[in-house]
């Protein structure tokens, strides 16, 4: 008899061996049949990049009745596309989740994030999708304080779904914080003030490292994800694939006619 369990596709951008991916996969197995497709190597900052220059190769790491794990020599979005096309029954999942990212993807960091791009790709395919990230950048993190919240969020979305082409970008305070609860909020308006630090490599060639800091343009906005995280709330930002600006469409239409 065909299983009636939800089919859940899991990926990340920290790579196949990341602790956050393993923890998230463990929780997803409580809810349904899980397919994991994750990059073989660390792929942070890849955003919605795709691989066209080299062939993709998948490795099956585990293939049990309800858990199927693969690694792929591609980007996070490659992983979602591969999972949907090659592994999932009828090219469809009931839920796409990504993470848990080791590091924040709040505010406009979400634009650059491969973790968030996985959820965006799921939403492009009209699958309810969630990106999970932690403010902790450490390689080893105590994710356990997040468990009950991930379970609650997952259960809610599986039962109620999301609007068409909408996905959730969720960031957790550091796990040692006293989490105050969940807030559904806006993406903070701000800007990364970036610079390239000039150095010399071991062969005395000039090289550069990108660095910078985030400038919050609305530090007192209680409905922003940065404020929520600074006050130890879990920040949930609903995001949409379609982001055309209706006001500009109307204004420019008048100007162009």
Question: pLDDT for 38-73, tens place per residue?
Answer: 999 999 899 999 999 999 999 999 999 899 999 999
Tokens of 184: 């559904």
For position 194, what pLDDT does the model report?
87
For position 1, what pLDDT does the model report?
39
* Percentage of residues of the chain with pLDDT beyond 90: 89
Domain ranges of the chain: 7-187+220-242
Q: Are 34 and 66 in contact (CB under 8 A)?
A: yes
d(CA 138, CA 129): 25
Burial class (CB in 10 A: 0-12, 13-18, 19+), 169: buried
d(CA 180, CA 172): 11
**Continuous segment of H or E residues that includes residue 60:** strand 58-63
d(CA 127, CA 118): 11
Q: What is the dihedral of CA 187, 184, 159, 22, to 10 degrees?
A: 60
Q: What is the mean pLDDT of the chain?
A: 94
For position 179, what pLDDT does the model report?
96
For position 3, what pLDDT does the model report?
56
Distances (CA, A) of 169 to 114, 145, 234: 12, 18, 11
Q: What is the dihedral of CA 149, 101, 32, 85, to 10 degrees?
A: 150
Regions of the chain short of the pLDDT cut 50: 1-2
The residue count of the chain comes to: 257
Nearest to 100 by CA among 181, 172, 180: 172
Radius of gyration of the chain (CA): 19
Nearest to 97 by CA among 164, 168, 172, 32: 168
Q: What residues pair up with 193 in beta bridges, in sequence order?
A: 213
Q: Kindly give the residue spans of alpha helices, DSSP state H, lying in 132-223.
A: 147-160
CATH 3.40.1210.10, applies to 7-187+220-242: yes
d(CA 150, CA 218): 28
d(CA 40, CA 56): 11
């Amino acid at each position: 008899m065909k299983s009636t369990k939800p089919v859940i596709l899991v990926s990340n951008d920290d790579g196949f061996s990341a602790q956050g991916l393993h923890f998230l996969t463990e929780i997803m197995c409580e809810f349904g049949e899980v397919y994991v497709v994750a990059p073989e190597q660390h792929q942070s900052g890849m955003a919605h990049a795709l691989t066209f220059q080299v062939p993709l190769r998948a490795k099956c790491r585990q293939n049990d009745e309800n858990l199927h794990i693969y690694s792929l020599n591609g980007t996070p979005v490659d992983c979602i596309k591969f999972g949907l096309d090659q592994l999932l029954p009828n090219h469809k999942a009931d839920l796409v989740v990504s993470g848990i990212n080791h590091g924040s993807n709040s505010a406009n960091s979400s634009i650059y994030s491969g973790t968030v791009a996985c959820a965006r790709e799921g939403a492009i395919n009209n699958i309810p999708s969630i990106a999970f990230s932690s403010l902790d950048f450490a390689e080893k993190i105590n994710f356990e304080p997040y468990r009950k919240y991930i379970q609650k969020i997952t259960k809610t979305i599986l039962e109620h779904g999301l609007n068409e082409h909408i996905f959730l970008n969720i960031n957790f305070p550091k796990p040692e914080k006293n989490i105050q609860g969940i807030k559904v909020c806006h993406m903070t308006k701000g800007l990364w003030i970036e610079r390239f630090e000039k150095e010399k490599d071991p062969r005395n060639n000039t090289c550069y490292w990108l660095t910078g800091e985030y400038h919050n343009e609305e530090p007192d906005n209680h409905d922003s994800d940065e404020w929520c995280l600074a006050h130890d709330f879990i920040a949930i930002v609903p995001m949409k694939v379609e982001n055309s600006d209706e006001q500009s469409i109307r204004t420019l239409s008048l100007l162009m006619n």
